Structure 1
């Protein structure tokens, strides 16, 4: 129960730590509302925006009681201060109580009006309202774009706490989550998250769901009210601890005082803190850490191991140092505290068609295409059979395209894509067996071999018993990511003895052929020699005859 209560007030306590650098001068709480004064020159719009940052709005003065609170807060200050009354459009209407103005809460309900006499009723009159001490805090019209000296914010809340029961021996100071102090008896109720401190005992309390809880409370809220640090004891209850040399004041359990000379914690050598459980002292760690196995060191707690963390739908837990945070699952985004499915298809992530799913999306392709395995958001041409019509430019029928593994084939005025049989082409790269597929091919190996890199076959541990091929995954040899393999050949099926016999026969035939050729050359040479000798004798006879004839002619 305490954990739930602590988380319910955490946001309210957080407000007091986020004042955006704006100085709060004073505040007042009554009923279910608190009002704060800011002395910070701003325009009306800027002042309303600053109140909104702190989950409040400019003050509405609907009752005489609210006007009394306003006069108390502004009683010691001069200058004009914005309240949450303005006119959005049109002209002032003096017949209405608010004269055509409305509260910043977008309503006109009011049991009280306090207009400054002689206010401008023209259509050009100023549209925002301020108050000041010099004019008895009457409502005065002021141009919205002119800075006022400051402004008042109004906070609303439920389940308040009544003030603590009085103790004549002590006084009480209350610190509200809206960043201002309230002394004892100045307010009748306080908002959740308010911290009360009694003096001189320094006992602390925090307001949670109409009840005051005494410190130490949850360590996640203002260190549990501890003066130094808060941790969890062995029973997971919050306890305070102090710096070395000091001990916790047992009267209020939150403040620190000087320790005894013989400190029982010194021998424990605790990394962070030491606390007493009765007469026994133990080491402890601050919130978000746990005691290690050595009993003295502190290590980070992985809060996400507790499956109860982030139970809301579509949330997941992320461990952080000393804490954790709840974030949306992938594909979801946080909207108004809930994780809502993101329509990824609205950002057109797919090349063709997109279907939104819970936490993700799925891409699909038009007919004649398929999703590219290497880039699932894109599509590539696909046939899936032996031949398909080519995809041609409607403005240029000669500009046609085919899927990978297909070749263009023109038939008259039509163009088709024909599957390439890679197993009987230069692109065949399988080490052993090849099976053609549409657009690609698949390598496989004989029994006793295993496929490596989709095309290599390496000998395995099994003995080769037959030549039944093993199936393999199809591969595309044109893929730029696949290494181009060295040329390979199918292993020979001839045994070693058969190979030796073939070699001997081949050598014998070669020798026989050489001997026959040599014999043929010798016979041909002898015939040529005899023919040459005979021809030489004839030529010689003819030469002598010619000489004889010539000599006869000369004698005659």
Structure 2
């Protein structure tokens, strides 16, 4: 495998470290590196921070690890989380680590350092911290409590040996975990070594040191300014206009040029000196040189299907680069794109069925998925009649689908389908269906607003031809469906109007009857008043006179 191929694994390893907060101190020994972070937080946040750095909270399994911990915390006060916690239940003083376990889910340890005042009750704190005040002994502490910081541990293989230094020369190192110095005992892959005063740089990979410039994707190839790929497909460094790359270390920029040949070329990105001594324009990674020989345009890396291999992954082109992302319905996990279980978040009103890359909502019996909102359900009958949906706590509170009327019977409440065509909603033709209806027009007419038939201007109606009407089925029913979160009404508007009319007629008839009854009663009382009782006269006298 060539050098570029060998760097792929290293690039993946380093991507988890780019952009992370640098530790306050660090120490490497053997195949382990330990880092100290003075970031206040609880146990879970500290554990998450270590995982983001591709490590875990520090395990203190030996006296060597304990000595390393003492070195890291020697100049700091306050409590710091380590990777020891109580998984469940109560502490057990007779068990290994007294019932606690490392965050690596094991209890292997050749060393213990508990504080003498160990709490073995079932209410004991579930996590452990250390501090200089308590002589770095393991102190029980509530997991939700806040410590002043935490310690992380990273394991690795294939470390590099230290570089020999010539007389008058020194070598400094920077590890991929954000710390370094001149006396790093173990150098993990991704460490960068710099010789001084020559400023030559090297990258640790597979127990070997690669001389800069290396792959441009890793720390800009070690270049002081920018890294690019020359026409021979080898990484190279370049400098700003007026400066040139050092011929000694090939990474740093030095001196101003009195007669800069690149100034005349006016290169968009890079002015490159070829082996024959000529200067030409080239472009940074992710760009290609235009026909004018100096302008750089974006290159679509996604045109190469090999850029993002794997299942359920796709390539997204960006300016000067590209990104491999998971397809919709998938998420990144362990370097692969795995299916996202959307049903776990409860997106459906009734039932949810997950499938690779997506999900679908289903409804309980007697309901269908709403056409307006696929995550909602609405009542559905699909027959001339069906049992109503009643409140289990109130059997008189029942609901029917749109287009049905509730009818109470001895055996319960039923939903009876309404023939909307009887109400003459349509101008011409009406076709009833379960829960709805459809208006159509005769030939030569166009359906408007779902119920009106408008005569076509460019056609003549063939009256009396005996031809059957040509249906023009609208895209929407006249009867609107209820919203997915609303209960359908048990009585339609037409029936409600009929009930109101009958009620008014009954009230008028009742008033008229009362009026007639009162009139007859008044007449009877008047006649009785005119009739005198026995033995009494009304004081009327017979009048006689001439006519």
- Which TM-score band applies after superposition, normalised by the shorter structure? 0.5 to 0.7
2:434 aligns with one of 431, 435, 438? 438
Alignment CA distance shift 1:398-1:107 (3 Å): closer
Which residue number in structure 1 is paired with residue 355 of structure 2?
357
1:225 correspondence with 2:226: no
Structure 1 residue 415: Cα displacement? 5.8
3-state SS of 1:271 partner: coil
Task: Please say if residues 389 and 417 of structure 1, whose CA atoms lie closer than 8 Å, have aligned partners that are also in contact.
Answer: yes
CA distance in 1, matches of 2:378, 2:81: 65
Task: Please say if residues 57 and 84 of structure 1, whose CA atoms lie closer than 8 Å, have aligned partners that are also in contact.
Answer: yes
Equivalences for 1:59-98 in 2 at 5 Å?
60=60, 62=62
Which residue number in structure 2 is paired with residue 23 of structure 1?
24
1:198 aligns with one of 195, 198, 212? 195
Alignment CA distance shift 1:453-1:243 (3 Å): farther
Which stretch has the larger CA shift, 316-325 or 190-199? 316-325
Alignment CA distance shift 1:276-1:351 (3 Å): same
3-state SS of 1:435 partner: strand
1:209 correspondence with 2:206: yes
Equivalences for 1:244-255 in 2 at 5 Å?
244-255=241-252
Equivalences for 1:404-419 in 2 at 5 Å?
404-407=402-405, 417-419=415-417
CA distance in 1, matches of 2:57, 2:329: 35
Which residue number in structure 2 is paired with residue 243 of structure 1?
240
Structure 1 residue 204: Cα displacement? 1.8
CA distance in 2, matches of 1:360, 1:148: 42
Task: Please say if residues 442 and 474 of structure 1, whose CA atoms lie closer than 8 Å, have aligned partners that are also in contact.
Answer: no
Deviations 1:351-370 (A, max 9, x none): 33332322333223333332
Task: Please say if residues 173 and 198 of structure 1, whose CA atoms lie closer than 8 Å, have aligned partners that are also in contact.
Answer: yes
Which residue number in structure 2 is paired with residue 176 of structure 1?
175
Task: Please say if residues 285 and 320 of structure 2, whose CA atoms lie closer than 8 Å, have aligned partners that are also in contact.
Answer: yes
Question: Highest Rg: 1 or 2?
Answer: 1
Equivalences for 1:314-463 in 2 at 5 Å?
314-391=312-389, 400-407=398-405, 417-429=415-427, 433-444=429-440, 459=456
Task: Please say if residues 422 and 428 of structure 1, whose CA atoms lie closer than 8 Å, have aligned partners that are also in contact.
Answer: no
Equivalences for 1:147-186 in 2 at 5 Å?
154-164=153-163, 170-183=169-182, 186=183
CA distance in 2, matches of 1:400, 1:75: 71
Which residue number in structure 2 is paired with residue 548 of structure 1?
none
2:257 aligns with one of 254, 257, 260? 260
Structure 1 residue 311: Cα displacement? 3.1
Task: Please say if residues 115 and 138 of structure 2, whose CA atoms lie closer than 8 Å, have aligned partners that are also in contact.
Answer: no
Task: Please say if residues 195 and 204 of structure 1, whose CA atoms lie closer than 8 Å, have aligned partners that are also in contact.
Answer: yes
Alignment CA distance shift 1:451-1:211 (3 Å): farther
3-state SS of 1:258 partner: strand
Which residue number in structure 2 is paired with residue 10 of structure 1?
11
Deviations 1:469-497 (A, max 9, x none): 1553563113389xxxxxxxxxxxxxxxx
Deviations 1:27-78 (A, max 9, x none): 4x4432345577x6989979975766642544747367x788789x689969
Task: Please say if residues 454 and 473 of structure 1, whose CA atoms lie closer than 8 Å, have aligned partners that are also in contact.
Answer: yes
Deviations 1:337-396 (A, max 9, x none): 444434333444333333232233322333333222112222223233444455556777
Which stretch has the larger CA shift, 323-332 or 269-278? 323-332
Alignment CA distance shift 1:44-1:438 (3 Å): closer
Deviations 1:148-202 (A, max 9, x none): 999876542112223346656854322221233343xx46752100112233432
Give me the TM-score of the superposition, normalised by structure 2.
0.64
CA distance in 2, matches of 1:255, 1:266: 20
CA distance in 2, matches of 1:268, 1:100: 72
Task: Please say if residues 246 and 259 of structure 1, whose CA atoms lie closer than 8 Å, have aligned partners that are also in contact.
Answer: yes
Task: Please say if residues 426 and 439 of structure 2, whose CA atoms lie closer than 8 Å, have aligned partners that are also in contact.
Answer: no
Task: Please say if residues 169 and 196 of structure 2, whose CA atoms lie closer than 8 Å, have aligned partners that are also in contact.
Answer: yes
Which residue number in structure 2 is paired with residue 503 of structure 1?
none
CA distance in 1, matches of 2:99, 2:397: 73
Alignment CA distance shift 1:164-1:420 (3 Å): same
1:274 correspondence with 2:271: yes
Structure 2 unaligned runs (5+)? 121-127, 483-547
Q: RMSD in angstroms over aligned alpha carbons? A: 5.1
3-state SS of 1:8 partner: helix
3-state SS of 1:247 partner: strand
3-state SS of 1:190 partner: coil
CA distance in 2, matches of 1:142, 1:182: 30
Deviations 1:73-120 (A, max 9, x none): 689969899896989756699xx9x9999988654544x89x9xxx98
Alignment CA distance shift 1:411-1:177 (3 Å): closer
CA distance in 1, matches of 2:434, 2:248: 86
Structure 1 residue 403: Cα displacement? 2.8
